Structure 1
């Protein structure tokens, strides 16, 4: 599924290569980063994860020379980053940190337009880019363009921070704990937004996190680092969960690895339901008649761009015309995980969740039965694999098994580092 998506979109990212990169701070004997070498493929999201003090943020900051390496080389698109002036380099790399780090005295539009203006873009081009990016991150340009950071929620500030990082269309985006300062529901939405944006743009994104669940959900590849930025494992989420490379990687993934494998299954892997939909302004009587004929007790209300606005019950439809429903509808991106789907459905009165694609366009509904049937099928496959696996005492690792009856340790979410 993922490879097909990438074939349909032009990869706009650039490959990043670290070759023997080290960082030793004056007065310290042990290096903060010790001879790390790896390649980040163009157009992929690579998640740096590990315990505090392992060197992941230091490694990230060396890519845009916020921290200068002591030794080794870093290349972007085959060009050594030292071949460019620091300011020139940073204008070609988006940088997003926790909380968005917006300038409080600047409006949203001015925050986003900082780099384009430094690059000499004219006023018209800058304005068009600001509006385009606000739409991309799910904010109404007319509503938010002239607001100040203090007038935004934490999630909205982070969305603006992402927009600012994308402003000059850089090939590389660096993200340092970008969603760590928001509540869990907002965090899930921002993660889904990032997946949606990446599906459309295919930048090269390097993201630091302490959260293995976030790393598994967002990453095309996951880099688990030990102290000194020594690589414990660098591989796809599937391999990281099913075959930890060493004891450290196994310990960091944690006891909940079997439950975390549910994060490898995406909503896009399942068949969506297509309940009755309506547009704002449609005849209420006609919508009600269509819903009843389809056996639906509710309808999905869409705007003129096919974005879901609400999911009212038929008894809530009053007046001659369909109006925009009140309340906040929680949508799921098609690349969201089954864990996200279950979490969302638990707070939904419909036993399902609305699923969206590019630019929040409506795709359908995923329901509880579809998810549980899929999990049960995964369980049956896992049991078959277990019966065919070597007997006890062999090299098989328990992280390769799936359980839909998680232990208390699994429900606690494992280790976050």
Structure 2
């Protein structure tokens, strides 16, 4: 392990000949699934509707009991553990966040720690830490109710609640399926940022192969009955589909899908003038103009981007104002180049602001840099005869 990587806090999951049969059904919903999910990785379950991916996921935390077979988390058989002990090890995040509408954000997040008997001070600190981790200001959001949040904000709270008891394993069932494409991309980026810091074991069900390619360290492609068609890295699934079923499922244009593997972090970011909220506007404008730029990236006191105003918009203020960060479409450094292009389409700057851990500002990625990189990928693919 490299020294700059955080320690793995996840646990290995092993499924051995796991089967689920429902009364009155001839075929098993899941038939003899054997699989090892390494600690600290994101594994994406994909496959056609009805293939058993959600059933397989839910058997890991015993929301559905297996008919036979063994599931171990960190070497321990889940059926030999009490429910409280298992819930302490497994967080669960579903579409829409599934928040309790009569509870505040803080109480929703605190639910599992409270059930586990944590003291009030520890719970309070955990709520604050998690809201900060998922990019929501604790002072602003902890007292709100779900109805006062956007869909994306609700989903962030759902992720925070899944992490509340600091479990080694997080299960996610179509977590980003009910939001618009821009919010979906931002939530995916947030998950990558969180995982870079925490290194949990995350198992996620999705119907979207592009989402699986973007998020997964490994992808599990299932046929009917949860039969494993291929279990491999996104690179290998795209470059060498196991058979025609996988090839058809991944879809045509797999060379183009390779662009989904190229990350913003692979491109050198450009510097842009920055300003802090409350700075003298005159000084900021003079500094930006001296550098030959007509806009500045406004940062908060923790170095997180809030806005990207043009200088003409700043000149009416004595001091740099604050901005609503929710309205600035940023990219995590692990976002794909496809995401970068999509974000740029909504930007008047022809570029996008890039963030790292805890949403801290890293720089700007330009349209030209992305297209140059794409042309290089195409040249390399052509040279290899793809």
Map 1:2-401 → 2, pairs under 5 A: 8-318=5-315, 319-325=317-323, 328-386=327-385, 401=386
| CA distance in structure 1 between the aligned counterparts of 2:279 and 2:138, rounded to whole angstroms | 26
| CA distance in structure 2 between the aligned counterparts of 1:37 and 1:262, rounded to whole angstroms | 31
Describe the superposition over 1:179-204 as per-residue Cα deviations: whole angstroms up to 9, x where unpaired: 11111111111100000000000000
| CA distance in structure 1 between the aligned counterparts of 2:85 and 2:127, rounded to whole angstroms | 21
Contact 1:113-1:164 within 8 A present in 2 as well? yes
Contact 2:43-2:218 within 8 A present in 1 as well? yes
- Following superposition, the deviation at residue 320 of structure 1 comes to 2.3
- Following superposition, the deviation at residue 258 of structure 1 comes to 2.1
- Following superposition, the deviation at residue 150 of structure 1 comes to 1.1
| CA distance in structure 2 between the aligned counterparts of 1:188 and 1:267, rounded to whole angstroms | 13
Scaled by the length of structure 2, the TM-score of the pair is: 0.97
Are the structure 2 counterparts of residues 248 and 296 from structure 1 closer, same or farther at C-alpha, using a change threshold of 3 Å?
Answer: same
Contact 1:312-1:325 within 8 A present in 2 as well? no
Describe the superposition over 1:31-88 as per-residue Cα deviations: whole angstroms up to 9, x where unpaired: 1001111110000000000011000000000000111111111100011111201332
Contact 1:12-1:171 within 8 A present in 2 as well? yes
Scaled by the length of structure 1, the TM-score of the pair is: 0.90
- Following superposition, the deviation at residue 118 of structure 1 comes to 1.0
RMSD: 1.2
| CA distance in structure 2 between the aligned counterparts of 1:9 and 1:43, rounded to whole angstroms | 10
Name stretches of at least 5 consecutive residues in structure 2 with no aligned partner: none
Contact 2:9-2:168 within 8 A present in 1 as well? yes
Describe the superposition over 1:261-296 as per-residue Cα deviations: whole angstroms up to 9, x where unpaired: 101000011100011111111121211121111111
Contact 1:100-1:160 within 8 A present in 2 as well? yes
- Following superposition, the deviation at residue 101 of structure 1 comes to 0.7
| CA distance in structure 2 between the aligned counterparts of 1:14 and 1:212, rounded to whole angstroms | 25
- Following superposition, the deviation at residue 95 of structure 1 comes to 0.3
| CA distance in structure 1 between the aligned counterparts of 2:226 and 2:254, rounded to whole angstroms | 23
Task: Show structure 1 runs of 4+ deviating over 2 A.
Answer: none
| CA distance in structure 2 between the aligned counterparts of 1:86 and 1:247, rounded to whole angstroms | 41
